[in-house]
Amino acid sequence: MLKTTHTLVVALTIFGGNPCRATESSPAETPGVSGNVLLADGAAKKLVAAARAGDVDAIKALLAQGADINARVSIGLNALLAARLSGRQDTYDFLIQMGADASVPMPAPERLTDGLLARSFDPKSPGAAVLVARDGKILYAKGYGLADVEHQVPITPATKFRIGSITKQFTAAAVLRLQEAGRLRVTDQLAQYYPEFPRGKEVTLRHLLTHTSGIHDYTRQPDLATLVRNPTTTAALIASIEKFPFDFSPGAKWSYSNSGYVLLGDIVTRASGENYGDYLQHTFFGPLGMTATGVYHNDMPPAGGAVGYSYAQGAFSPAPDWNKTWSGGAGSLYTTVGDLFRWNEGVFGHRVLNADSLTAAFTPIATANNPDAKLDGGYGFGWEIERFRGVREISHGGGFPGFCAGLLRLPEQNFTVVVLTNAMPPKAGDPIKLAEDIAEFYLGTILPPRPAPIASHPASPAALAAIAGRYAIGNGILAVTTTGSRAFAQATGSLTHEILPKSETEFFFKDVDVQLIFVKDANGKVTAVVKHQNGMTTPMSRLPDVAEVTLDDSQTDPLLGEYAYGPDRSLTVTREAGRLFFQLTGRPKFELGATSDTEFFVRLVEVRFTFVKNADGRVTSVILHQGGKDREFPKVK
């Protein structure tokens, strides 16, 4: 639901935002939505992609090969214009020195946006609705692809999408509105609403709003994909949440938890005396003119709604139609791009909350794993606060099987971008990243330039070997690998990025503004890494090293095949170029590493597999170990 890492179960199943990120990549490919869209055959496209990324070395190599420095791609950009839009001042200066023509006019932002989106979404496949607005005026609104592939229904700005965790800001706003009315306080103890809830006197509504309660995220249940096929009740869902042990003491850490927002949605009902959806309707939707927004009911889907699809291995298929009674205040809403525009205008126009409530909502929480949280970096009450191109960005993503969404606001520029898609993960990548690309088309020439790139310095083989390993980041993993003299980093649900050394312990991402500082103990062993990104500081502890072994094809042949995971779903184990992967039906692939010929681990999530053999040595089942639970699935093919 958020631009953070999630465990395997969340990445494969529920309402999170990280599933919206592409997961199939290799170190050699160019990360990022625009880079992948623009980087095709032709030196001009490669020059533009390199200029957007600020990769001067790549530009030099292309020019040395005879590329035309002023050549333009079909949407009208050349390398110089791309560097200017992306705030790459050093790249712009270099291109000028090399003879680039500064008189070429900048294409209209609408042309750039349409060109990007038309290349991102196939007209015969699931797609997206996109809206751009500034100063309360809609500048661009258009649909791409199909809302319903079977019936060839096109997506339009009026198409309704399920928005997953963008729901959380509506829930948070409802809590704050009830506080303004004196119906509750964010300092209230959870025990005031649920007297029997374990440790309820230690948890406050503020903890729930900021994901610092320590209450275990129910979406991380190994059997969730089966459970959510059938309806539940809020009372039953909360009763199940009560049974989970706490992940940490309330207030000690930040860890994204849908459980907290399920509780908050029910607290809105209790404090207001109205059904959650009814309260939102008369408090927000009606007054703001949001006529196409509501709580999604599987038995009564709204007219004009998009069908959700899964995207894996280059193909789309219908996504599981999970029952939204499992979402509540964490992710149950549907809406349109136009209604989210009206919502943003209401929020930032002080028609939803008063100034004090907004200040509280937009102030990131500081915790032990983000002690330096400031106004410009972290998570507030249902909104994520970051820095983009030197200005404040307030946003949130949302996603679950079939849908991914992004709502972005640059408040200083009164600028909104909405991206709603009906596939998970969307072929074009993270909707928030796509929204930021679009923001640069409209504002790139007036936003502050990006900082000059950090100079890279050689790192010794010993230094590279020392940092290789897996690090716990949120509920997921950051895997650092090395190949020869190069190092790469990949977080759960994200692309692989090359990291370059600034020193023996300081590294930075080649193509995004992220820095990693590796921490050593008294014996010189790397025990942790600290990530710096968008004003946020995130320490990550190193996970125990795994004694990985190399298996030949004859040893992995017996493992290949399908295992019965649940109704209409299977777990498939495949091998590609000697590498072993597993995949749930309709979900992305995850690579496996071996510790023996029957014991395997997942590189990017804390999950292990044990393959079970009979007396004849034939594999009959696989046991999945996750979260202290073991589940066995028989081999069927």
At 110-122, the pLDDT tens digits run 999 999 999 999 9
Q: What angle in degrees, to the nearest 10, is found between the helix axes of 337-348 and 167-180?
A: 30
At 261-274, the pLDDT tens digits run 999 999 999 999 99
Query: Would you state the pLDDT for residue 12?
Result: 31
Q: Starting at the earlier edge strand, list the strands of the sheet with 561-566.
A: 561-566, 569-576, 579-584, 589-594, 599-602, 608-613, 619-626, 629-634
Tokens describing residue 101:
């023509």
Query: Would you state the pLDDT for residue 15?
Result: 32
Residue 9 scores a pLDDT above 60? no
> What average pLDDT does this structure show over 351-372?
87
Residue 334 scores a pLDDT above 80? yes
DSSP 410: E
Tokens describing residue 445:
């020439």
Question: Residue 400's pLDDT band (boundaries 50, 70, 90)?
Answer: confident
Long-range contacts of 511-517 (CB under 8 A, 24+ apart): 511/30, 511/31, 511/32, 511/35, 511/53, 511/54, 511/55, 512/31, 512/32, 513/450, 513/451, 515/454, 516/489
Sign of the torsion formed by the C-alpha atoms of 338, 341, 346 and 352: positive
Tokens describing residue 98:
């090399």
Residue 284 scores a pLDDT above 70? yes
C-alpha to C-alpha distance for 213 and 251, rounded to whole angstroms: 6
Model confidence pTM above 0.85: no
- Which parts of 193-233 fold into alpha helices (H)? 205-209, 224-227
pLDDT top residue among 217 and 570: 217
Query: Would you state the pLDDT for residue 38?
Result: 37
Query: Would you state the pLDDT for residue 2?
Result: 34
Which residues, 6+ apart, have CB-to-CB distance to 492 below 8 Å?
5, 6, 7, 11, 18, 473, 476, 477, 478, 604, 605
DSSP 98: T
Task: Say which residue the tokens 């309704």 belong to.
Answer: 160
At 21-74, the pLDDT tens digits run 443 332 223 333 333 333 334 889 999 999 998 889 889 999 999 999 999 999
C-alpha to C-alpha distance for 381 and 388, rounded to whole angstroms: 20
Residue 374 scores a pLDDT above 90? no
Among 58-67, 188-197, 591-600, top mean pLDDT goes to: 188-197
* % of the chain with per-residue pLDDT over 90: 62
Domains with residue ranges and CATH for the chain: 8-20+126-426 (3.40.710.10), 33-107 (1.25.40.20), 461-541 (2.40.128), 553-634 (2.40.128.50)
> What average pLDDT does this structure show over 290-317?
92
Query: Would you state the pLDDT for residue 579?
Result: 87
C-alpha to C-alpha distance for 85 and 87, rounded to whole angstroms: 6
Among 28-37, 176-185, 262-271, 276-285, the least confident range:
28-37
End-to-end CA distance of the chain: 34
Measured from the Cβ of residue 606, the count of other Cβ atoms closer than 10 Å reads 18
Length, in residues, of the chain: 637
Which residues, 6+ apart, have CB-to-CB distance to 482 below 8 Å?
464, 465, 467, 468, 488
C-alpha to C-alpha distance for 292 and 438, rounded to whole angstroms: 25
Query: Would you state the pLDDT for residue 64?
Result: 93
Query: Would you state the pLDDT for residue 17?
Result: 36
Between CA 278 and CA 400, with CA 346 as vertex, the angle to 5 degrees is 60
Determine whether 355 is exposed, middle or buried from the number of CB atoms within 10 Å of its CB (0-12, 13-18, 19+).
exposed
Question: Residue 598's pLDDT band (boundaries 50, 70, 90)?
Answer: very high
C-alpha to C-alpha distance for 187 and 209, rounded to whole angstroms: 11
Region at 204 (left for phi over 0; alpha for psi -120 to 50; beta for the rest): beta
Query: Would you state the pLDDT for residue 28?
Result: 29
Residue 483 scores a pLDDT above 60? yes
pLDDT top residue among 172 and 23: 172
C-alpha to C-alpha distance for 86 and 106, rounded to whole angstroms: 13
Measured from the Cβ of residue 529, the count of other Cβ atoms closer than 10 Å reads 23
- Which parts of 249-397 fold into alpha helices (H)? 258-272, 276-280, 286-288, 337-348, 355-361
Give the phi and the psi of residue 418 in degrees, each rounded to 5.
-120, 130
Q: Which helix (H) or strand (E) holds 45?
A: helix 43-53
* % of the chain with per-residue pLDDT over 70: 90
> What average pLDDT does this structure show over 313-329?
89
Single-letter code of the amino acid located at 53 = A
Determine whether 273 is exposed, middle or buried from the number of CB atoms within 10 Å of its CB (0-12, 13-18, 19+).
exposed
Buried residues in 612-624 as b, exposed as e (16+ CB within 10 A): eeeeeeebebbeb
Q: Are 571 and 561 in contact, with CB atoms under 8 Å apart?
A: no
In Å, what is the CA distance from 446 to each residue of 91, 337, 611?
Answer: 17, 25, 57
Between CA 195 and CA 202, with CA 196 as vertex, the angle to 5 degrees is 70
> What average pLDDT does this structure show over 130-140?
98
Residue 586 scores a pLDDT above 50? yes
At 541-559, the pLDDT tens digits run 898 888 889 899 999 999 9
> What average pLDDT does this structure show over 322-339?
96
Task: Say which residue the tokens 């692939």 belong to.
Answer: 589
Residue 369 scores a pLDDT above 70? no
Query: Would you state the pLDDT for residue 382?
Result: 97
**Half-sphere exposure at residue 225, Cβ-oriented, CA atoms within 13 angstroms:** 21
DSSP 43: H
Determine whether 152 is exposed, middle or buried from the number of CB atoms within 10 Å of its CB (0-12, 13-18, 19+).
exposed
Query: Would you state the pLDDT for residue 292?
Result: 98
At 498-541, the pLDDT tens digits run 898 988 899 988 777 788 999 998 888 999 998 887 666 778 88
- Which residues lie across from 541 on neighbouring strands? 528
C-alpha to C-alpha distance for 357 and 172, rounded to whole angstroms: 10
Tokens describing residue 240:
């199940």
Single-letter code of the amino acid located at 583 = Q
